[in-house]
């Protein structure tokens, strides 16, 4: 490698480490899709680069290619027509293992520099990636740009910085001297080396392929592990672009591009189970269903498995000093990307006798009606609404909405919206239902489906929320309350159940949002996740420290 990539990006790395230490707001990647920030021609060039990808093979030179496959259909209506090289599991594992020694021996500083350069180049491709994310996941463009581009890059950088901090704590060597009284001390020269676990597998999801995929990808790569990226068949393109950028940077830095490869499959012929059980696979990152996440944890015993699984996110409404703001905030959070987020609230517990607010006492029915009314107001203008809801990623979600109507009393029915630019897009509004505790669904209903559940008082609401987290798992919990004792009780319940809590959000921050460098997303303290992203444990389990010692002269 002729260029010091670590030196080029050291200032960014230092700032990232400072942000992780302080947990305040920071990002090196602008989140606004603005030509002023990325260059006046960047938006048009990014869209053009995306369109060039359509209806043709994706150029990716990998070993063992035996055909081309691809079946992505945009939630906005049309097939993408992109095909990808179909490489065999044996071939990708074999080339990854061949590439490992040189990457391992390059050391933490070089690997960190290469990963920082990859992230920098991904940021330059943010508009192209945004269109790819939009037309595979159904996110509206602004969200696809933010979550699929800069915010995902933030998460990748957080993983790299956290891993660098862990690896840089290990000295390269030491002189060990043990006094022996009057005799000469015992002396050993010791060398310490970072040793990767082996080949890593990143299993992508259909709704947030880059945002959920980058932490595992970069945490494994920077710690010396080759990575095989296995996208969801419905959302390959964003990760294919990512793999292509990784391979280009690796090659230009003098390393084998086969340190990062793409493994594609068909929905009717999946390969994840096959490769996940291979003895060479030592790390697995997975985001998706509870069933498959549990299967990986129980069966892929040769690997360290990191999962983020489905859960039932909960909220308690016990009182508020801003009734209108609370209703608006909840309405936006339920409508954003049509509830297709791992952090969206599914069940809202409200005391049957109502709550105290700045507008006086509000009954359960009035609280429910206010939230439903805020959703209706927010989505009244279809042209504005589609930029909030995006499109439904999977037809299975539409079927789930239809089936959920029978699970409670319909408070606000879901309705179809016509997208002004994409008339074939799958766009719907949220479905809101009410029930009592006995009628609330126990499992996750992914999509824009929310239940407002009447409970026998605030205590019962808090206990029901905590019980749901303990048994079903959750990534988020929320409470609205004005009584400090109630807030403290909810905090204690969430601490014991193991879920992150947000209190009294009424403004421009929403329960769905998780900020890199600050929030601990997926704490691993309940059934919905088994690792925090990106804490020290998330990166430390990806490498070992091995030593060589010899007598010192």
Task: For residues 379 and 507, give the distance between their C-alpha atoms in angstroms, rounded to a whole number.
Answer: 18
Say what the pLDDT of residue 535 is. 75
Q: Among candidates 115, 91, 99, which has minimal Cα distance to 258? A: 99
Q: What is the mean pLDDT of each run of 10 residues along the chain (553 residues)?
A: 86 97 96 96 98 97 92 97 97 98 98 98 98 98 98 97 96 95 94 97 97 97 98 98 98 98 94 98 94 95 94 97 98 98 96 98 98 98 97 97 96 97 97 91 93 97 96 95 98 96 97 93 80 75 96 90
Whether 475 maps to a domain, the answer reads: yes
What sign has the CA pseudo-torsion 453, 456, 457, 459?
negative
Say if 514 falls within a structural domain: no
Residues 305 and 322 in one domain: no
427 and 303 share one domain: no
Structure token digits, residue 25: 């707001």
Any domain includes 522: no
280 with 422, same domain?
no
CA distances from 237 to 43, 261, 386, 433 (A): 18, 13, 23, 36
Q: Does residue 144 sit in the same domain as residue 270?
A: yes
Asked if residue 430 belongs to a domain, the reply is: yes
> In 437-486, where do the E strands start and end?
449-455, 477-480
The residue count for the chain? 553
Beta strands in 387-541 (DSSP E): 409-412, 431-436, 449-455, 477-480, 501-503
Residue 532 is predicted with a pLDDT of 52
Q: What is the DSSP string of 168-227?
A: HTS-SEEEEEEEETTEEEEEEEEEEEEEE-SEEEEE--SS-TTTTTHHHHHHHHHTT--E
Q: Give the span between the Cα atoms of 104 and 95, in whole angstroms.
A: 15
Residues 358 and 439 in one domain: yes
Token digits of residue 252? 């230009």
Is 67 domain-assigned? yes
Q: Give me the pLDDT at residue 531, please.
A: 60
Cα–Cα distances in angstroms (integers) from residue 6 to residues 14, 18, 175, 540, in the given order: 11, 17, 28, 21
- Phi first, then psi: give them for residue 545, nearest 5 degrees: -110, 120
Q: Last residue of a domain, which of 488, 503, 518?
A: 503
Q: Quote the CA–CA distance of 334 and 95 in Å, as a whole number.
A: 45
* Spatial separation of the C-alpha atoms in residues 145 and 77, rounded to whole Å: 19
Report whether 204 contacts 230 (CB < 8 A): yes
Which pLDDT value is given to residue 1?
A: 46
CATH assignment at residue 475: 3.40.309.10
Q: Quick one: 546 and 496 in the same domain?
A: no
Domain annotation covers residue 28 = no
Cα→Cα distances 80→8, 76, 239, 398, 451, Å: 37, 11, 15, 21, 35
> Residue 523: what pLDDT?
72
Burial 420-455 (b: 16+ CB within 10 A, else e): eebeebbbbbbbbbbbebeebbeebbbbbbbbbbbb
pTM (two decimals): 0.96
Q: Are residues 319 and 293 in the same domain?
A: no
Q: How many domains does the chain have?
A: 2
pLDDT number for residue 437: 86
Same domain, yes or no, for 292 and 425? Answer: no
Q: Compute the chain's Rg from CA coordinates.
A: 25
> Alpha-carbon distance 159 to 543, whole Å?
14
Does 298 share its domain with 345?
no
Q: What is the pLDDT of residue 257?
A: 98
Please tell me the distance from the alpha carbon of residue 218 to that of residue 16, in angstroms, as a whole number: 15
Q: Are residues 377 and 288 in the same domain?
A: no
Whether the ω angle into residue 92 lies within 30 degrees of 0, i.e. cis, is: no
What's the domain range around 334?
314-503
Mean pLDDT for all residues in the chain: 96
Q: Which CATH number is 72's domain given?
A: 3.40.605.10
Is residue 21 domain-resident?
no
* Residue 519, domain member (yes or no): no
Same domain? For 226 and 330 the reply is no
Same domain, 141 and 216: yes
């Amino acid at each position: 490698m002729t260029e010091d990539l670590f030196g080029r990006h050291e200032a960014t790395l230092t700032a990232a480490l400072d942000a992780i230490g302080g947990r305040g707001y920071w990002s090196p990647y602008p989140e606004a899709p603005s030509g002023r920030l990325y260059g006046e021609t960047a938006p048009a060039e990014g869209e053009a680069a995306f369109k060039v990808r359509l209806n043709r093979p994706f150029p990716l030179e990998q070993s063992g290619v035996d055909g081309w496959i691809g079946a992505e259909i945009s939630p906005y209506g049309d097939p993408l027509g992109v095909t990808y090289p179909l490489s065999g599991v044996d071939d990708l594992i074999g080339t990854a293992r061949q590439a490992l020694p040189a990457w391992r021996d390059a050391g933490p500083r070089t690997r960190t520099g290469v990963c920082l350069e990859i992230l920098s180049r991904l940021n330059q491709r943010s508009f192209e990636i945004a269109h790819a994310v939009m037309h595979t996941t159904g996110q509206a463009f602004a969200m696809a740009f933010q979550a699929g581009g800069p915010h995902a890059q933030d998460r990748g950088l957080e993983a790299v910085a956290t891993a660098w901090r862990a690896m840089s704590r290990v000295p390269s060597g030491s002189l060990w001297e043990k006094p022996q009284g009057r005799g000469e001390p015992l002396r050993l020269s010791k060398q310490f080396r970072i040793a990767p676990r082996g080949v890593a597998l990143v299993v992508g999801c259909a709704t947030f392929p880059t945002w959920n995929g980058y932490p595992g990808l970069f945490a494994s790569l920077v710690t010396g592990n080759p990575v095989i990226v296995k996208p969801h068949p419905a959302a390959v393109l964003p990760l294919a672009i990512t793999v292509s950028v990784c391979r280009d940077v690796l090659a230009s830095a003098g390393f084998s591009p086969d340190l990062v490869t793409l493994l594609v499959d068909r929905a009717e012929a999946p390969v994840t189970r096959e490769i996940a059980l291979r003895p060479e696979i030592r790390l697995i990152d997975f985001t998706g269903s509870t069933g498959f996440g549990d299967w990986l944890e129980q069966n892929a015993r040769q690997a360290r498995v990191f999962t983020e699984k489905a859960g039932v996110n909960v909220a308690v409404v016990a009182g508020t000093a801003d009734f209108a703001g609370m209703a608006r905030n909840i309405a936006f959070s339920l409508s954003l990307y049509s509830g297709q987020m791992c952090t969206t609230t599914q069940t809202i517990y409200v005391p049957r006798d109502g709550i105290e607010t700045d507008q006086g006492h509000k009954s359960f029915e009035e609280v429910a009606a206010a939230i439903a009314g805020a959703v209706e107001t927010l989505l009244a203008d279809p042209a504005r609404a589609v930029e909030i809801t995006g499109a439904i990623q999977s037809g299975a979600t539409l079927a789930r909405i239809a089936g959920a109507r029978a699970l409670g009393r319909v408070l606000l029915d879901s309705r179809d919206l016509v997208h002004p630019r994409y008339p074939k897009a799958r766009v719907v509004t949220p479905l809101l239902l009410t029930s009592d505790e006995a009628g609330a669904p126990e499992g996750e209903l992914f999509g824009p489906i929310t239940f407002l559940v009447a409970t026998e008082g605030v205590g019962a609401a808090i206990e029901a929320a905590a019980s749901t987290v303990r048994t079903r798992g959750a990534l988020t919990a929320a409470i609205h309350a004005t009584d400090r004792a109630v807030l403290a009780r909810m905090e204690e319940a969430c601490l014991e159940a193991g879920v992150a809590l947000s209190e009294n959000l009424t403004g421009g921050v929403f329960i769905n949002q998780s900020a890199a460098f600050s929030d601990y997303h997926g704490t691993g303290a309940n059934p919905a996740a088994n690792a925090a992203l990106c804490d020290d444990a998330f990166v430390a389990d990806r490498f070992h420290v091995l030593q060589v010692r010899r007598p010192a002269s």
